[in-house]
Amino acid sequence: MSDSLAPEYLTALSDHLRQENEGSLSRAYELGRAALAAELGILDTLSLYEAAFRQLVLSAPSSEQPRVADAVINFFRELLSPYEMTFRGYRDANIELRRLNLELIRTNAELQAKQVQLIQSAKMASLGELVAGIAHEINNPLAYVLSHLKTTSASLARLEATGGVEPSSEQHELLERARDRIAHSQSGAERIRELVLKLRTFSRLDEGERKTVSVRESILSVLTILEHRCKERIEVRTTFGEPDLVECFPSLLNQAIMNLVANAIDAIEGTGTISIAAGRHGASYEISVTDSGRGIPENLRERVLEPFFTTKPIGQGTGLGLSITHSIAQKHGGTVELAASEAGGTVATIRFPLSETTLVRSE
């Protein structure tokens, strides 16, 4: 910019100094619009102001300088009005953009939550169908095996009682071995039947309905399914408080418990312990899973509840377990809390309000 005013500004300012009316101020506003349209920057406009101050204010007689200065200030205030309105428009646009960004973030979070729920629903539906098929295919032949084992055991006892001849030591040994094999076979068959029942308890095809269930039974069914991952490596301790029967969505609660226990197992390298406690705390019910594993850093305890976020190595975690558990807790009107345990691992707690029926029953 030049140190002297452009002719159009000098003329308009001179007219304003003589008139100082609405017309001269309107001319300043029009010059401001023209400057903005010509992409004259705010710094260039300030340079115009400095030039006007030097040419008109400082050159005026001392007695006139205050009046001239006020007139120049009013002129440039009006000249800068279009800039102010433009900046206000930018500000409003930025506010609206921030609002839209927040709305987009909320929408994205809702979509992720829905995606997690869909994945969970599909997973539970597939598991339910699998368990139903297993129960059907195993229970029928298992019933035959158990029945025939009882028949064989009874027949062996009758044979021994009606033989009339004292068996030799070799025959006696064979009979004892046969009874022992039958007893072990019967125990194994009963174990298979118990496992199938626990699988059916875990899957609960009525997941869409709120029902009264035994929390103890739910936890034990989860431990039965995950027992093979704990054998000879992890000691599991359970503490069951009152009440045992609570109203919940059974299949969803089983899924949440399984996710917490599975995460606790994954967190333990080598040997360790897992403690599971369940019971009432005030008007809420709490299920906590405490492990002696590596723990979760404090700065990540909130993030691990986000969908698809995982602290596990690539290929070893989907980042959905705790997120699904969190959404299940919310469906029950509750929360999932993560904290450090005294053993150095993590305490994961599901907390949800008890129904009025359960509260009255447990009084």
Q: Based on the domain organization, do 253 and 302 belong to the same domain?
A: yes
In the numeric block, which tokens belong to residue 335? 């929360």
Q: Based on the domain organization, do 173 and 268 belong to the same domain?
A: no
Paired residues of 214 in beta bridges? 245
Q: Is residue 115 part of a domain?
A: no
Question: 54-80 burial, b for 16+ CB within 10 Å, e for fewer?
Answer: ebbbeebeeeeeeebeebbeebbebbb
What is residue 183's predicted lDDT score, i.e. its pLDDT?
82
What is residue 200's predicted lDDT score, i.e. its pLDDT?
66
Task: Tell whether pTM > 0.75.
Answer: no
Count of the separate structural domains present in the chain: 3
User: Among residues 199, 221, 242, which one ends one of the domains?
Assistant: 199
What is residue 2's predicted lDDT score, i.e. its pLDDT?
44
The residue segments making up the domain with residue 166 are 123-199
pLDDT along the chain (363 residues), means of 10: 62 81 84 81 77 81 85 84 78 80 82 70 64 72 81 78 67 79 81 72 60 89 85 90 89 86 88 92 92 79 64 56 81 88 85 84 70
What is residue 4's predicted lDDT score, i.e. its pLDDT?
52
What is residue 10's predicted lDDT score, i.e. its pLDDT?
76
Distance CA 269, CA 261 (A): 14
Q: Based on the domain organization, do 335 and 225 belong to the same domain?
A: yes
What is residue 308's predicted lDDT score, i.e. its pLDDT?
58
Q: Based on the domain organization, do 236 and 310 belong to the same domain?
A: yes
In the numeric block, which tokens belong to residue 158? 């009758």
Query: Which residue has tokens 């807790």?
Result: 329
Q: Based on the domain organization, do 148 and 227 belong to the same domain?
A: no
Q: Based on the domain organization, do 32 and 59 belong to the same domain?
A: yes
